Structure 1
Amino acid sequence: MTLAFDNTYARLPDHFYARLAPVPVAGPRLVKLNTALALSLGLDPTALDTPEGLAVFAGNQVPAGAEPLAMAYAGHQFGHFVPQLGDGRAILLGEITDPQGTRFDIHLKGSGRTPFSRGGDGRAWLGPVLREYVIGEAMHALGIPTTRALAVVTTGEPVYREATRPGAVLTRIARGHVRVGTFEYFAAREDHAALRRLADYVIARHDPALAEAEQPYLALLDAVIGRQADLIARWLGIGFIHGVMNTDNMSITGETIDYGPCAFMDTYHPETVYSSIDRHGRYAYANQPRIAQWNLVSLAQSLLPLLDEDPERALDIAQTAVDTFMPRFEQAYLAVFRAKLGLMDEQADDAEQIAGFLAALAADNADFTNSFRALGEVAAGNETRWSDGGAIAAWLPDWRARLARETASPAERAARMRRANPAVIPRNHRVEAALNAAVDGDHVPLDALLRVLASPWEMRPEHAPYTQPPQPHEVVQQTFCGT
């Protein structure tokens, strides 16, 4: 097995990370290998599915060219600043480039204690590791920027959480692992040289054209703001709730990262929360845009020394930049939901139409995904499921009047809506059932779920059971981190 490493992060100064190898495990076994991802990266799946590949995925062997390290970062966790977090159970093995020249990190999660572990065991257990695999693949198929999993291995060792659990290691692939919290780490230490070095690194790796900008660090902040505005709008469009939007879980690349207690809504309500640790709803569905802006304020504050030598002037520059987030988010949000409602043109009442349908969903306790999908069938002229009344039925005449002001044909509109409204999402009860079965050794439900999630826009006969909302006894009330 050969990996052509070129490790740019490892060439940064030593205080950006701690160099160490993963902690070996007793009895590794390959559980999942993401063949499609391997091929897209230019890797040979048959070479990965070998004893040598297993040893690398488990952390038992450091491949040639790798320079393993644990990254340093800080973060605001539920609004409270922690000046040192870092990779407490993860190792960045190194970086490779795919055939298109895009650089990716290879990252082991659950690979043992590091200097940043803060008393933790540095390990992960199989359930949450498989959950990250499943949700990452679902997000990718849905067109959402995301990290993905290349492999899952069990360790042959127990980990201790609320009970004894089987240990596992996830091999994560990402365009980068620099977070808002990475900038906060150096800003908190007033290490302006390191802050500049980090910003220069991010620009060179992810936004090289910005190096020619008149104010490259402001341009970097602006680029991150734009990526986050687009990402959060996409999250809301599929009913996704991250669950732990701490600043150490916000990637500079605009990828969704760190799938812990995340979930997809069944019944729509803007205040929906699943995360067991989000006791006050800070990261509820509808709060995610506001929290993204809050996190971006933290990034802007960290960048102040680079924006201008005059502190007051730097603050004004940062504030002006952050103030663009909400208009940019709203523009992205309108584009996402126009497509979901089949609104082909931009008109003044678009926001009112969107808000009206969402309010009707909440009033009728309607399923988010299925209701948008069904609306596409109404647009095609098929029978409405809402003929018996209710808030959605009362909203439909206004929507039809809005559509009458456009020239698109019903077939054209319905086709667009099918491309904007998935038939299948990773419903919480389906995910939980598949993970529980896999932990017990039965991988048939997990494999079936992954096959369906790979084509979320299609409605095939085998997909039908996966579109159904949970029965009352199947409802998942809470999701968990697994740490």
Structure 2
Amino acid sequence: MHFDHTYAQKLSDMVSQVRISPLLEPKLALYNEQLAEEIELKNEFSQADTLFAALFTPDGCLNQQGVAQKYGGHQFGGWNPDLGDGRGVLLAEAVTEKQQSWDLHLKGAGKTPYSRFGDGRAVLRSTIREYLASEALHNLGIPTSRALCLISSKEIVYREQPETGAMLIRACQSHIRFGHFEYFYQSNQLDKLDKLFNYTFQQHYPSFLDHENPHYSLLEQIVLSTADLIAKWQAFGFCHGVMNTDNMSIHGITFDFGPYAFLDTFDPDYICNHSDHNGRYAFDQQPGVALWNLNALAHAFTPYLSIDQIKQALTQYETRLQSQYAELMGQKFGFKRVSNHDMQLVNQWLALVAQDKRDYTQSFRLLCDENLNANKLADHFIDRSKAQNWYQAYLARLAEESIPKNERLMTMKEANPKFILRNYLAQNAINAAETGDFGECERLLKVLSNPFDEQPDFEHYAQTPPDWGQSMEISCSS
């Protein structure tokens, strides 16, 4: 492994060099050994003194070339050009022996030219939530940035109330957002827009340079990967909470965690962000918002593509989303092939779960029970008659495919997690960590590393949330 910094080098006039502001009495609280091994960093920074020397000393290898990126974004539908890495620093790219490149990005680094009125810090609460969520999604098979390590401290920062300052290093293919392209297009800096496109092709999609129209291939790829991501969010019941275009990645990964939530009681209109007063980013609005964001991004392609070409690329979103979502739901229900009639059965199930306010994850996991029968299913619902009628239709559908029951149930269990990151579980881990105890974080990460397994010793992590933990709304503030 070696470090590179192509973004800072090739796009030097589009970044600002930033020095990291050390935290008061930093402590290496969590370290992701699995990820570190994957990006060949296992031995470099697993010890606090080595990591802090790299981050906080003037000549440290992660502090020498740190930069803040400039971008804009549509926030709750309104254009904001005054965005950028306000508390983040792009540290470097870790390049493995197989020439795989991983961006290393520090959250909570201190003030940057884009901090506006903020202090550039992150708080322990938000860094723990991002660490847990990124690992939870990764282990569910949902594309995401990942957390490499979490650094706690004795520093006090002020939000709605005094909180503990912290830092998090995350890794992903790149930190290029929809908002990068939007900013340079909207500000009419077309020379920089062209440089950004060329960099994106060279570093991330070099094969597209051999295509007849590289810009069309790139837009098409972003459209399809975004559709794939949203299909997985909807199938697993994940709410991002703040789908601004500056929080959308060109790689189709879950990015910039804020007030996210996994569904507890199934409510299609669930809003997890208490700042989202109009429900723009409610759970069932996510597919439409993603398409809106893609349309916003597509404006930056107009110097290179015709309107018809842009429409052709964007039109693929809905078809891809529907096909991927149908495939995922077919796996959850044990269908080998999924028809339009099957999706009616799926939607009837979702309507029943919503009507009776049942837990989303537990309801799907119930279908994997080898001892399931009509009465047992009906016991899960209030409307027993409707539940039993649905179950009879479901059994009739399963009978159309000659799949052995044990084989079908095994496949279904691999598509229906028993354990998800519920907000109340994250809050319990945060409460303990704020006293200096990261044991609950470690236990929760262990459970979430195998979300589809039974794990009898951790059965309580799969239980319905207590009343205080149901459908929590989370603040954007971090």
Alignment match, 2:187: 189
By how many angstroms is 1:19 displaced?
Answer: 1.4
Contact 2:75 2:244 (C-alpha < 8 Å) held by counterparts: yes
Q: Describe how 1:259-298 pairs up with structure 2 within 5 A.
A: 259-298=257-296
In the alignment, residue 324 of structure 2 is paired with which amino acid? A
Instruction: Tell me the distance in 2 between the aligned counterparts of 1:342 and 1:366.
Output: 20
Residues 264, 61 of structure 1: alpha-carbon distance in 2 compared, 3 angstrom cutoff? farther
Which residue in the other structure is 1:352 paired with? 344
1:16–1:296: structure 2 CA closer, same or farther, 3 Å change rule?
same
Q: Give me the whole-angstrom Cα distance separating, in 2, the residues matched to 1:480 and 1:254.
A: 24
Tell me, yes or no, if the aligned pair for 2:152 and 2:167 is still in contact at 8 Å. yes
Task: Identify the residue that residue 405 of structure 1 maps to in structure 2.
Answer: 400
Counterpart in the other structure of 1:457: 452
Choose from 358, 381, 385 the match for 2:376.
Answer: 385
Measure the CA separation in 2 of the matches of 1:199 and 1:229: 21
Amino acid at match of 1:86: G
Q: CA deviation at 1:346?
A: 2.9
Equivalent in the alignment of 1:395 = 390
Q: How many residues align?
A: 474
Matches of residues 35-54 of structure 1 in structure 2 within 5 Å? 35-45=33-43, 47-54=45-52
Partner of 1:329: 321
Structure-2 residue corresponding to 1:318: 310
CA distance, structure 1, for counterparts of residue 411 and residue 11 of structure 2: 49
Q: Is the 8 A contact 2:132 2:445 kept in 1?
A: yes
Q: One-letter code of the match for 2:308?
A: D
Contact 2:58 2:64 in 1 (8 A): no
Partner of 2:359: 367
Q: Distance in 2 between matches of 1:119 and 1:75?
A: 18
Distance 1:58 1:235 in 2: 37
Partner of 1:23: 21
Secondary structure at 1:30 match in 2: strand
Partner residue of 2:462? 467
Deviation at 1:448, TM superposition (A): 1.2
Deviation at 1:14, TM superposition (A): 3.0
Q: What CA distance in whole angstroms lies between the structure 1 residues aligned with 2:152 and 2:374?
A: 49
- In structure 2, the CA distance between the partners of 1:22 and 1:46, relative to structure 1 (3 Å rule), is closer
| 1:33-432 equivalence runs, <5 A | 33-45=31-43, 47-57=45-55, 62-63=60-61, 66-307=64-305, 314-377=306-369, 385-388=376-379, 389=384, 391-432=386-427
| Corresponding residue SS for 1:71 | strand
Normalised TM-score (structure 2): 0.95
Displacement of 1:59 in angstroms is 7.5
Structure 1 unaligned residues grouped into runs of 5+: 308-313
Amino acid at match of 2:429: A
Question: Are 2:110 and 2:121, in contact at CA under 8 Å, matched by a contact in 1?
Answer: yes
Question: What are the Cα deviations for residues 431-468 of structure 1, in whole angstroms up to 9, with x where unaligned?
Answer: 11111111122222222111101110100212310111
Measured at CA, do residues 354 and 81 of structure 1 come closer, stay the same or move farther in structure 2, by a change above 3 Å? same
TM-score normalized by the length of structure 1: 0.94
Stretch deviating more after TM superposition (179-188 or 380-389): 380-389
1:415/1:116 CA distance change after superposition, 3 Å: same
> Residue 464 of structure 2 aligns to which amino acid in structure 1?
P
Cα offset for 1:7?
1.2
Instruction: Give the SS at the match of 1:395.
Output: helix
Larger mean CA deviation between 164-173 and 99-108 belongs to 99-108
Give the match's secondary structure for 2:4. coil
CA–CA distance in 2 between the matches of 1:451 and 1:43? Answer: 21
The one-character-per-residue Cα deviations of 1:386-430 (angstroms, maximum 9, x if unpaired) are 234154333111111111111111111111100100010011111
Percent sequence identity over matched residues? 38
Pair 1:166–1:320, CA change in 2 (3 A): same
Q: Greater CA deviation, 46-55 or 145-154? A: 46-55
CA RMSD of aligned residues (A): 1.8
Structure 1 residue 108 displacement after superposition:
0.6
Cα distance between partner residues in 2 of 1:77 and 1:225: 20
Report the alpha carbon displacement of residue 134 of structure 1 after superposing the two structures with TM.
0.6
Change (3 A) 1:58 1:445: farther
